[in-house]
């Protein structure tokens, strides 16, 4: 099905099942422990051996020798796999570094060997016996040191300029010129990167924790130099990904190589230190923002440049993309700068680009509003735009930022906020409120599904879409139930298998909208097949309560499949509506915090997110995504930071003991409001993504609240005690 024009009325608009706050259909399996994750397919491979990864203890250099004899002779060891005996290996398009090092070490903890043994303990013990000699080379590990020499844009990310920024900024009545920094961050998903692989002849099956089945399969085929058709990827349940499992990683490759070496199934799970250093992370940024306004606060000039680092061949953190679209202003400049660093690979982490970009931009907006002397919400509303600022002829399909801010202000009690910092005190606590706009673009991609109807009237949905804990099973079942006129209990959903049609996958906030649209397309075709089988007019037929109706005629849905199961397959393909219209999602984030006047301890007290993200397919699962994202924003504001050892080039706090993330005691009252919103330009579902929108802007709202409480303006994340103590008001 091609989606090339605005969606009209369709069966989804009935909202009998779609749009209802239904419980997750996979909940009972997960709470009972019956949902199988990547490391747990014991019934499929009861004789699995265990692999343990040997990671490089240097960040850059050469391997001069490897001695595996002692490891091979250790108890229980079945094989030791290195680049020397693994056969010729390629590299997937989406991997910056090789997933099994050859002679060259590209980053710390890059895999150099896999020890396979009968038990995990034997593999771990033997891994310590692998002797590798290295020739260490000098590396670059500090973005701030590299920044002065990086002045031009990467070839594939040119600067964008509209009007005359320099002239307009110089002539502006009020100016802000400031730098902001965000640190390296780790995904820290609950489920580690894990895989299990088995071979049957020349065919490979890999059970893995991966968000994008087709990407994983394609890059694994390229890495192993084998036909993609001979690889099956299975990933029905994922215990968190946040972008860290978008791509093929070393656990899957090494499990496949280990299984081939020992001719039996092999399981590989990355220990926590290797997750931080061997997989991907959100790279640090240094951001330079300049804003110039007239005396009334209208933006005349706005510029945003961001520096980040990556391995050779890597990509920059796209931290300026929201600045191109969020506020009006005739004169604009954005640019990305990419430094070469020898740290582990930087890549997508939840809401890549907008998350770190808004951490800076939405502080800058508060700062310039204060300089102008108007309320920060009023400033944002004053500079709202209903069109792409760089292309005024291109409108937003839907843009409710002003409504998000006004609704949030009323609900949160913004009128009670004292605009003068450090004026509200409750006992030992200085209290403040902060606000930030949330923004995340709506992305679409082709997504396929296969749908069956059997003679019991059961609808079965198959697609390689994944569920990373976000509720994919449920919203896909809701879509099929709505389209076919059956209760959700009459729908079975099977996900995460490369034998199923290729979906858009889970990532970038595009998964829900695109995958349900794929099921919609398949169900349109199934409705036509059912009507034809029953002798009904497909254009007039309606489906409800397990029946099919055509005028005065009706028949049970199951009757159409009485002789044989009906199976159809289709893919939603999007036209150029995203070129004609700017499609984005918006939020208003409101925070109240308390800061201990003596210690500088920050406690977030209240959080409110008001979201405009198209049709909300399931308010219960959507709320769960948003409050999780808000929690991640709290972590980014106050505690999350990977510390770089600049001598050895690795992340020191590379486990869940040293890398701080929020815990239950840190989570305050959280409220989420979804505005009534449908976007027929986006898809036949009239939905957009919402999960990452819940993060975008949260950290800045917290920092703005800290300023309101204390008068201390922090521009470097995270806001730790040392950044507050010197500036706190003196105790009286």
* Boundary (domain end) residue, out of 562, 579, 596: 579
Mean pLDDT of 605-618: 98
Instruction: Quote the CA–CA distance of 2 and 360 in Å, as a whole number.
Output: 39
User: What would the DSSP string read from start to end of 595-664?
Assistant: EETTT--EEEEEEEEEEE-BB-S-HHHHHHHHHHHHHHHHHHHHT--PPEETTTTEES--STTTS----G
Mean pLDDT of 160-168: 98
Query: Strand, helix or coil at 555?
Result: strand
* CA neighbor of 174 nearest in space, from 379, 374, 376, 372: 372
Mean pLDDT of 543-564: 97
Residue 96 resides in a domain: no
Dihedral sign, Cα of residue 333, residue 581, residue 13, residue 477:
negative
Statement: residue 228 has pLDDT above 60: yes
Please tell me whether residues 721 and 595 are part of one structural domain: yes
The number of residues making up the chain comes to: 732
Mean pLDDT of 314-336: 98
Instruction: Quote the CA–CA distance of 205 and 199 in Å, as a whole number.
Output: 6
Residue 642 resides in a domain: yes
Residue 569 resides in a domain: yes
Residue listed under structure tokens 């925070």: 591
Please tell me whether residues 573 and 699 are part of one structural domain: no
Please tell me whether residues 563 and 630 are part of one structural domain: no
Please tell me whether residues 438 and 451 are part of one structural domain: no
Examine the residue annotation and report whether 592 is marked as an active-site residue of this protein: no
**For helices 213-224 and 250-262, angle between their N-to-C axes, nearest 10 degrees:** 50
Please tell me whether residues 538 and 612 are part of one structural domain: no
Query: Strand, helix or coil at 433?
Result: strand
Residue 351 resides in a domain: no
Instruction: Quote the CA–CA distance of 239 and 303 in Å, as a whole number.
Output: 39
CB within 8 Å of 272: residues ≥ 6 apart: 192, 654, 655, 656
Q: What is the three-state SS of 682-716? A: CCCCCECCCCCCCCCCHHHHHHHHHHHHHCCCCCE
> What does the DSSP 8-state code read for residue 345?
P
Instruction: Quote the CA–CA distance of 84 and 68 in Å, as a whole number.
Output: 11
**pLDDT bucket at 566, cuts 50 / 70 / 90:** very high
Q: What is the three-state SS of 468-535? A: CCCCHHHHHHHHHHHHHCCCHHHEEEECCECCCCCCCCCCCCCHHHHHHHHHHHHHHHHHHHHHHHHC
> What does the DSSP 8-state code read for residue 43?
T
Statement: residue 732 has pLDDT above 70: no
550 neighbors 531 (Cβ within 8 angstroms): yes
Please tell me whether residues 646 and 611 are part of one structural domain: yes
Q: Edge-to-edge strand order for the sheet containing 61-67?
A: 104-105, 61-67, 131-136
* Boundary (domain end) residue, out of 554, 579, 604: 579
Instruction: Quote the CA–CA distance of 26 and 463 in Å, as a whole number.
Output: 16
The tens digit of pLDDT for each residue in 485-518 reads: 999 999 999 999 999 999 999 999 999 999 999 9
Radius of gyration of the chain (CA): 27
Residue 656 resides in a domain: yes
Please tell me whether residues 602 and 473 are part of one structural domain: no
Cα dihedral 501/506/509/511 (nearest 10): 30
Residue 210 resides in a domain: no
Please tell me whether residues 497 and 536 are part of one structural domain: yes
174 neighbors 292 (Cβ within 8 angstroms): yes
Res 719: pLDDT: 98
Residue listed under structure tokens 């990509």: 315
Res 730: pLDDT: 84
510 neighbors 574 (Cβ within 8 angstroms): no
- Burial bucket for residue 160 (CB in 10 Å: 0-12, 13-18, 19+): middle
Res 45: pLDDT: 87
Please tell me whether residues 593 and 680 are part of one structural domain: yes
Instruction: Quote the CA–CA distance of 221 and 227 in Å, as a whole number.
Output: 6
Please tell me whether residues 662 and 685 are part of one structural domain: yes
The tens digit of pLDDT for each residue in 446-464 reads: 999 999 999 999 999 999 9
- Burial bucket for residue 249 (CB in 10 Å: 0-12, 13-18, 19+): buried
Asked if omega into 718 is within 30° of 0 (cis), the reply is yes
Q: Which pTM does this prediction carry? A: 0.98
* CA neighbor of 114 nearest in space, from 79, 88, 166: 79
Instruction: Quote the CA–CA distance of 399 and 380 in Å, as a whole number.
Output: 13
* Boundary (domain end) residue, out of 517, 552, 579: 579
Please tell me whether residues 438 and 448 are part of one structural domain: no
Statement: residue 371 has pLDDT above 90: yes
Statement: residue 731 has pLDDT above 80: no
Res 268: pLDDT: 98
CATH number at residue 415: 3.30.365.10
Residue 200 CA, chain-centre distance (Å), reads 34
Please tell me whether residues 606 and 722 are part of one structural domain: yes
Mean pLDDT of 328-339: 98
Structure tokens given for 708 = 């309101």
Residue 178 resides in a domain: no
CB within 8 Å of 628: residues ≥ 6 apart: 691, 694
Domain count, the chain: 2
Residue 323 resides in a domain: no
User: Which of the residue ranges 122-126, 287-291, 725-729 would you say has the lowest mean pLDDT?
Assistant: 725-729
Instruction: Quote the CA–CA distance of 127 and 112 in Å, as a whole number.
Output: 11
Q: Using alpha carbons, list the distances in angstroms from residue 212 to 294, 542, 576, 618.
A: 47, 35, 24, 22
79 neighbors 262 (Cβ within 8 angstroms): yes
Helix (H), strand (E) at residue 364: helix 354-372
Mean pLDDT of 168-184: 98
Q: What is the mean pLDDT of the chain?
A: 97
Mean pLDDT of 127-145: 98
Structural domain of residue 565, as residue ranges? 2-35+444-579
The tens digit of pLDDT for each residue in 642-666 reads: 999 999 999 999 999 999 999 999 9
- CA count, 13 A, side-chain hemisphere, 611: 33
């Amino acid at each position: 099905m091609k989606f090339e024009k605005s969606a009209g009325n369709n069966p989804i608009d009935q909202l009998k099942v779609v749009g209802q706050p239904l419980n997750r259909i996979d909940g009972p399996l997960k709470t009972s422990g019956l949902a199988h994750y990547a490391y747990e397919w014991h019934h499929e491979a009861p004789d699995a051996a265990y692999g343990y990864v040997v990671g490089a203890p240097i960040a850059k250099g050469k391997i001069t020798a490897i001695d595996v004899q002692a490891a091979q002779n250790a108890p229980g060891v079945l094989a030791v796999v290195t680049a020397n005996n693994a056969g010729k290996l390629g590299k997937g398009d989406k991997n910056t570094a090789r997933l099994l090092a050859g002679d060259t070490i590209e980053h710390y903890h890059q895999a150099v060997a896999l020890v396979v043994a009968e038990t995990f303990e034997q593999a771990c013990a033997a891994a310590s016996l692998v002797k590798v000699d290295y020739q260490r080379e000098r590396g670059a590990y500090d973005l701030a040191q590299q920044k002065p020499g990086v002045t031009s844009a990467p070839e594939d990310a040119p600067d964008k300029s509209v009007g005359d920024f320099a002239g307009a900024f110089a002539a502006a009545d009020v100016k802000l010129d400031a730098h902001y920094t965000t640190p390296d961050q780790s995904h820290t998903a609950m489920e580690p990167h894990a895989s299990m692989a088995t071979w049957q002849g020349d065919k490979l099956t890999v059970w893995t924790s991966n968000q994008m089945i087709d990407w994983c399969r394609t890059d694994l085929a390229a890495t192993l130099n084998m036909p993609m058709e001979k690889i099956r990827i299975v990933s029905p349940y994922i215990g968190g990904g946040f972008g860290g499992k978008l791509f093929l990683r070393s656990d899957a490759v090494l499990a496949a190589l280990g299984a081939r070496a020992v001719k039996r199934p092999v399981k590989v799970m990355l220990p926590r230190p290797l997750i931080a250093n061997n997989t991907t992370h959100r790279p640090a940024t240094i951001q330079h923002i300049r804003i110039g306004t007239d005396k009334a606060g209208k933006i005349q000039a706005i510029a945003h440049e961001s520096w980040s680092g990556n391995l050779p061949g890597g990509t920059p953190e796209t931290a300026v993309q929201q600045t191109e679209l969020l506020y009006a202003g005739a004169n604009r400049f954005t640019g990305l700068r990419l430094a070469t660093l020898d740290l582990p690979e930087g890549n997508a982490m939840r809401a890549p680009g907008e998350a770190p970009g808004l951490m800076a931009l939405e502080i800058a907006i508060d700062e310039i509003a204060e300089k102008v002397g108007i309320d920060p919400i009023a400033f944002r509303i004053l500079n709202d735009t209903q069109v792409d600022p760089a292309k005024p002829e291109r409108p937003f399909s839907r843009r409710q930022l002003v409504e998000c801010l006004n609704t949030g202000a009323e609900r949160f009690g913004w009128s009670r906020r004292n605009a003068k910092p450090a004026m509200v005190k409750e006992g030992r606590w200085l209290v403040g409120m902060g606000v930030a706009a949330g923004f995340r673009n709506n992305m679409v991609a082709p997504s396929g599904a296969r749908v069956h109807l059997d003679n019991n009237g059961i609808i079965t949905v198959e697609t390689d879409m994944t569920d990373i804990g976000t509720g994919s099973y449920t919203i896909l079942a809701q879509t099929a139930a709505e389209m076919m006129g059956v209760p959700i209990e009459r729908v079975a959903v099977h996900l995460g298998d490369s034998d199923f049609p290729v979906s858009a996958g889970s990532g970038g906030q595009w998964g829900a909208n695109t995958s349900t649209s794929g099921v919609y397309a398949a169900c349109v075709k199934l409705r036509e097949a059912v009507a034809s089988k029953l002798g009904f007019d497909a254009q007039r037929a309606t489906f409800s309560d397990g029946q099919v109706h055509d005028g005065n005629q009706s028949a049970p849905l199951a009757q159409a499949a009485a002789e044989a199961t009906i199976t159809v397959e289709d893919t939603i393909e999007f036209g150029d509506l995203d070129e004609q219209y700017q499609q984005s999602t918006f939020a208003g984030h409101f925070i109240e915090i308390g800061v201990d006047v003596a210690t500088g301890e920050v406690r977030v007290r209240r959080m409110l997110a008001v979201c405009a993200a198209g049709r909300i397919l399931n308010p219960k699962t959507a709320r769960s995504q948003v409050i999780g994202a808000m929690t991640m924003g709290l972590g980014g504001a106050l505690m999350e930071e990977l510390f770089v050892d600049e001598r050895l080039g690795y992340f020191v706090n590379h486990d869940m003991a040293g890398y701080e993330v929020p815990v239950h005691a840190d989570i305050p009252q959280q409220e989420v409001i979804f505005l009534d919103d449908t976007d027929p330009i986006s898809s036949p579902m009239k939905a957009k993504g919402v999960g990452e929108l819940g993060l975008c802007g949260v950290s800045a709202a917290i920092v703005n609240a800290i300023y309101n409480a204390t008068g201390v303006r922090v521009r470097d994340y995270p806001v730790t005690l040392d950044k507050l103590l010197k500036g706190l008001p003196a105790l009286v």
